[in-house]
Amino acid sequence: MANNQPAKVETTKEDSRSAIFTALREVLRIYQDDFVVKTDKPNHCSLETRSPSLNGRRMFFAAAKVKKNYVSYYLPPLYMFPELANRLSPELRRSLHGQSCFNFTAVDQNCLTELEKLTHAGFQILKEQALL
């Protein structure tokens, strides 16, 4: 017996993680000319400062990494400058795990837009304090 129902297209977890990673990678690409691209792989990208910090190593700025069940976005300036956390909306705060890591299981355009602004604020602070 034929089923006249339209076929349901389900997004796999892998497709969802890929879409999230692609969106977060675009946030990082805005800053790739200001930082060193430490890692740029299909499932992990990260940026660090061009010049060494106090301990003689480059400072980690931000990264996106695909995990088994979610995609993480790391933003150490959030830890370094806690006043940035005051800007977090309740929606973005729910994805915050620890002091500077956000985990996503779905693309949320509002959170991505807010994360882009937060990343820019972190960049501006590092720039103002000559830490780039």
Q: Which residue has the tokens 């890591």?
A: 101
Structural domains of the chain, with CATH:
13-128 (3.90.1150)
User: How much is the pTM?
Assistant: 0.86
Q: Is 76 within 8 Å of 63 (Cβ atoms)? A: no
Q: How many CA atoms, within 13 angstroms, populate the side-chain half-sphere of residue 78?
A: 24
| Average pLDDT of the residues in 26-39 | 94
- Tell me how many degrees the CA angle 57-53-38 measures, rounded to the nearest 5: 50
Phi, psi of 66 (to 5 degrees): -80, 125
Q: What is the pLDDT of residues 50-94, one digit of tens each?
A: 888 777 888 899 999 999 999 999 999 999 998 999 889 999 999
Angle at 63 between CA 106 and CA 40, to 5 degrees: 100
